[in-house]
Structure 1
């Protein structure tokens, strides 16, 4: 009886952990968002890869908008500055939030779910 209970609890924990907190796997839209942010932040003297950034990406299925909390590189140093973005792939629009509280307000106002975590957010 104890073995079955342990298996049941372990199975529930795995399902719960995998359902919460996003994923390290990207779909096509998420990758496009990442590529746009990397392109926006690439400097002439430095060539950055995705490994130089950290991403926490939220998506709202109703509005089809992405909100991105990211750490971007600067002058060759990875994960140097925190930047927040709103991305609309249908309008090919990438906006930078100037005020963190506006990002938080928009996130609270929508139906956003974490769809991807990487780098410093992967923990």
Structure 2
């Protein structure tokens, strides 16, 4: 359980960055080279490579060298881990909100304060 949470921490930290989310979004439509992925960003290649290494370290992408070009591919299995965690959370919170709804909408007994006479 602790390792799973640690893995989730890394995955969520990886997708917290807009550059890395954009890379993942692009890779969702198919493999791409580092050059293709870096093109839309106004940053030096070594800075961009830090994002690629972070995504790879957390298992969201894989890279492989084909000739002189390094290609990146999204790892869809890692997203199953996120989906599973979110599904668990959704189930927990749905149960809690259902109980809250029952509590709020349940009829309450008609309780009237004792009538006190003023002297």
Same fold (TM over 0.5): no
TM-score range, shorter chain: under 0.3
Q: Structure 2 length normalisation: TM-score?
A: 0.26
For CA contacts below 8 A with separation 6 or more, give which structure has more relative contact order.
1
